[in-house]
Amino acid sequence: MKKSNRKRSAWRKALGAGLVLALLLGLCGCGAKQDQGDQSDSTFRIAKTWDKTGIRNHYHGGSAIGGLEWLAVEPLVQYVRSTDELFYLLAESIEHLEDGTSLIHIRENAKWQNGDDFLADDVMAYYHINFVSVTNYLAKPMEKIDDKTVKLTWKSWMEPNDNVKTLLLAEQKTGSVQYKEFQQFVDRCQEILLSQPDCEEGYLGSAPFGKLISPEAEEEFLANYNDFKAYNPDWFVATGPYKLEKETQNQMILTKNEDYYFADNVKFDKVICYNVADTNSIYNMLSNGEIYYQDGMAPEATLNAILDSNPNMAHLKMFDPGAIGLVFNLEKEIWTPGVRQAFQYIFNREEMRNAGNKYAITSQFPLIGMAPSEAQTWLAPEDFDGIPRYSQDLDKAAQLLEAEGWVKKDGRWTIDGSPVKLSLGYDGTHPGMCGVAEAVESAMNDFGIEVSLKRANDWGSWFDTARAADSVYDFVVNWTDLNMSFSYPTGSFQYVFNDINGPIMKLPKFTEEDYAAGRIEENQVGSLALEYQKRDGSGSFYVKDVLSNLYYYSDEELREVLADMIMGTANENLGVQFYQNVTGSFVDTSKIGGLPMEEYFTRERNVTYVPEAGTDEFFEVARTNLIYSQGISFSQGFYEPKN
């Protein structure tokens, strides 16, 4: 009796403690929930990351800035990625004149968020301190015509076509450097710049604003830029539709900027950003409606599961101007031309696509320098049809490998008697690439080549490893071709040859010896040494020359040069394209009004139709994607609260 009593009392205690705990937590829960319910309906919620250590109060402070990037810092004119649709923001218009000059007309009522007018000085401050790529095409420093007009003079020997001129200016988040706030740094910069000699007519090297910058001056610029970067104003310097109200490690509140020149368009009063990087957390937040919008894809089953658990969520799809596949590290001896070609035949690309992104479009090309959709836009139809296409043919692959001295023993491929073992690096945070990597591994093991997967934990460490000399990666899963900027071939070629894939592939570079042998100029040491044959057999050309001239070609010349470039790249077999990617956006249809494709998502919330290039929907869907349109949906009023 006594015993059982005691036992019961112990259990009772435990039960009691548990109940108290549950009650307490439940109370917290209710309290918090109520508060969430009180918030007005015109609040928008997104996930976007920034430095948890705290942001610096301006765009150039070296910190990631979360939602401010889309909603506070603006360019003169905004282009929408992939469609190149233009929206004039801080500039009312940009006029390109016959005499090789351009006039930027600043919007009359454009203001900084601290109430100051946005002026010609501010535009000039931005370009003069940042030396962005467009400044290299200018013949002299920018001139102020009046408070709201800036004049640009292009180098006559490097004058891009009008389309490119606008797009080059559109790339830049000009509304980020207020002259008044950063005067000391801008003036210092100007002073150094003006002390430099002018370049000669026809000089093709780097000469921002037509000035030849000496190494000493370069160092002074950098020192000045570092001071500029480290400077922390007491307000976040921006002009856009939303102001920074508050920022913590995990959340950021942006409130509507009532002085904004398009204030009438801006329908949401507040935007709350969550600092979430983990994709799983984002899926969870979409499932329970904590965020209303997220760009990108999720694996098919996950996407459907999210839509199943949140009846208000819809997913719209659109072309991604990039292709995913394999990129070879040419530093490794194994990648002889024959082996590279053999690899085109090993894979069932349909299956690779399914493993990566079910909604994407299978590609049969090798790495060609741009996504298939862009190649189709830029090439003449007969040239596009001429790009080599590959499909799975294991016999052909075996034949090519044997020609390279590979021998298959006991179902395993060997070179000089030792089995081939390759390591495949990929960025573990990209769900599509993870799927592709695993599919590649299993396909190759099946074919008799052992592959060890090197899953990097984040993009940075993946890229650091991939570009390092003597990298452990023999090849990688990556964007074979990707255009991050406006839809001009330069964007894609930069990605492939210079910025990302170039260092990964370890493409050949010109050396001091080439200079000594008189093959190149001194300043070209270190530039790309890739040489292609022209299609008509009339000789060869260097890729670097094409890259530096792309902006100046007429339409006719451009088509011709691009065809040579793409065929040349395809023949090198630098990589294997598996699919042209399709991306999209999750949108909460109960919170966001004004969405396109309504007749589609009311029928089926997982909209599988991918709008064809050039259709209205093509433009409309791209605008709703915040990465592609950089917040245009807010400043133009495409997004509105739904009641």
Partner 1 sequence: MIKRFFTSAVHGAVRKCKVVFSNRKAVLGGAIMLFFVLLAVFGPILFPYNPVTDENSKYLAPGAGHWLGTDNLGRDVFRQLVHGSRDVLTIALLTSVITIILGTVLGMVSGLAGGVTDRVIGVITNLFLSIPSFPVLLIFASFFTIEDPVSFALVLSLWSWAGLSRAIRAQIHSLKERDFIQICRVMNLSRAHIIFSELMPNIASYILINFIMIMRNAITGSVGIMMLGLAAFQPSNWGAMLLRAKDSGALLIPEASYFLFAPIVAIMLFQMGSILLAHGLDEALNPRLQA
Partner 2 sequence: MRAITSFYNKTRYFWRRLLIAFLTLVLVAVFGFLLIKLMPGNPVDTYAQTLMTERRIPFEEARALAKQMLNYDPDEKILVQLGKYIYGLLHGNLGISMRRPDITVNRLIAGFLPWTLFISSVSLFLSFIVGIFMGSHMAWKRKGVGEKAALSYIVVSGSIPDYLWGMILIFVFGVRFRIFPVQGNYDVMLEYEGWPWLLNVLYHAALPVLAYSIVQIGSWALSMRASSIGVLGDDYIYAARARGIPERIIVNRYLRRNAMLPLVTSLALSFAGLFGGSSLMESIFNYPGLGQQFSAFMGARDYFIIQGLILFMSFMIVLANLVVDSIYSLIDPRIRRST
Binding site for partner 1 (CB under 8 A): 279-280, 283-284, 287, 298-299, 301-302, 304-306, 309, 351, 354-355, 358, 423, 428, 431, 434-435, 437-439, 441-443, 445-446, 452-457, 461, 472
Q: How far apart are CA 41 and CA 642, in angstroms?
A: 8
Window 499 to 558, contacts with partner 2 (CB under 8 A):
499, 526
Q: Smallest distance, Å, CB 463 to partner 2?
A: 10
Is position 62 an interface residue for partner 2 (rule: CB under 8 A)? Answer: yes
Residue 27 binding target from partner 1, partner 2, none, CB below 5 to 8 Å by type: partner 2
Sign of CA dihedral 521, 523, 528, 532: negative
Instruction: Candidates 91, 106, 164, 285: give the one binding partner 2 (CB under 8 A).
Output: 285
* DSSP for residue 636: T
Nearer to partner 2, 31 or 537 (CB): 31
Residue 514 binding target from partner 1, partner 2, none, CB below 5 to 8 Å by type: none
Q: Smallest distance, Å, CB 339 to partner 1?
A: 22
Q: Smallest distance, Å, CB 249 to partner 1?
A: 20
Give Cβ neighbours of residue 616 (< 8 Å, ≥ 6 apart): none
Q: How far apart are CA 486 and CA 172, in angstroms?
A: 12
Q: Smallest distance, Å, CB 324 to partner 1?
A: 15
Q: How far apart are CA 67 and CA 73, in angstroms?
A: 10
Is position 278 an interface residue for partner 2 (rule: CB under 8 A)? Answer: yes
Q: Smallest distance, Å, CB 229 to partner 2?
A: 8
Residue 263 binding target from partner 1, partner 2, none, CB below 5 to 8 Å by type: none
Give Cβ neighbours of residue 26 (< 8 Å, ≥ 6 apart): none
Residue 61, Cβ neighbours under 10 Å: how many?
Answer: 20
Nearer to partner 1, 181 or 441 (CB): 441
Which of 493, 403, 410, 489 has its CA nearest to residue 450?
410
Q: How far apart are CA 287 and CA 38, in angstroms?
A: 21
Cα-based angle 190, 193, 199 (whole degrees, multiple of 5)? 145
Window 296 to 335, contacts with partner 2 (CB under 8 A):
309
Which of 474, 466, 476 has its CA nearest to residue 576?
476
Is residue 126 within 8 A of residue 176, CB to CB? The reply is yes
Cα-atom radius of gyration of the chain, to the nearest Å?
28
Task: Quickly count helices (H) and strands (E) in the chain.
Answer: 24, 24
Q: Smallest distance, Å, CB 572 to partner 2?
A: 24
Tokens of 447: 């074919």
Instruction: Candidates 53, 538, 554, 643: give the one binding partner 2 (CB under 8 A).
Output: 53
Is position 27 an interface residue for partner 2 (rule: CB under 8 A)? Answer: yes
Q: Smallest distance, Å, CB 62 to partner 2?
A: 5
Instruction: Candidates 206, 312, 348, 362: give the one binding partner 2 (CB under 8 A).
Output: 206
In this structure, which amino acid lies at residue 193? L
Cα-based angle 90, 94, 100 (whole degrees, multiple of 5)? 145
* DSSP for residue 497: I
Nearer to partner 2, 162 or 278 (CB): 278
Q: Smallest distance, Å, CB 366 to partner 2?
A: 26
Q: In 3-state terms, what secondary structure has residue 306?
A: helix
Query: Which residues of the shown chain bind partner 2 in the complex (CB under 8 A)?
Result: 6-7, 10, 13-14, 24-25, 27-29, 31-32, 35-36, 39, 51-54, 56, 61-63, 131, 206, 215, 218-219, 222, 225-226, 230, 232, 246, 248-253, 272, 274-278, 280-281, 284-285, 287-288, 290, 309, 457-458, 460-461, 464, 468, 499, 526
